[in-house]
Amino acid sequence: QVQLVESGGGLVQAGGSLRLSCAASGTIYVINAMDWYRQAPGKQRELVAVIISGGSTNYADSVKGRFTISRDNAKNTVYLQMNSLKPEDTAVYYCAADIDGYDYWGQGTQVTVSS
């Protein structure tokens, strides 16, 4: 059974940084895209960043230049480095992955940015 487990969330002041990690475990043959989403209270879940198996990345306009997504294929892990955090970045952050043709989601990790 494949699982995604996020870590690294927490409380940080505006302008600070956090690094989220998401590790995939279980029987895995191929991980295609790995993504980070977020959902703020009262808002729809939105795509933050995506990285495909070849390493190409894409970001939401709201985080371009501040967030960096990366992956360690040997560890089946995706990271989200978040710099220059703003209060509007406060949300539950979820990782998602296309593994062997199936979509999997992590349980989410809370990121709170105080002003």
Q: How many helices (H) and strands (E) does the chain have?
A: 0, 11
pLDDT surpasses 90 at 72: yes
What are 21-54's pLDDT values in tens digits?
Answer: 999 999 999 999 999 999 999 999 999 999 998 8
CA separation for the pair 5, 8 (Å, rounded): 10
> What's the confidence (pLDDT) of residue 54?
87
Q: In whole numbers, what is the pLDDT of the chain averaged over residues? A: 96
> What's the confidence (pLDDT) of residue 108?
96
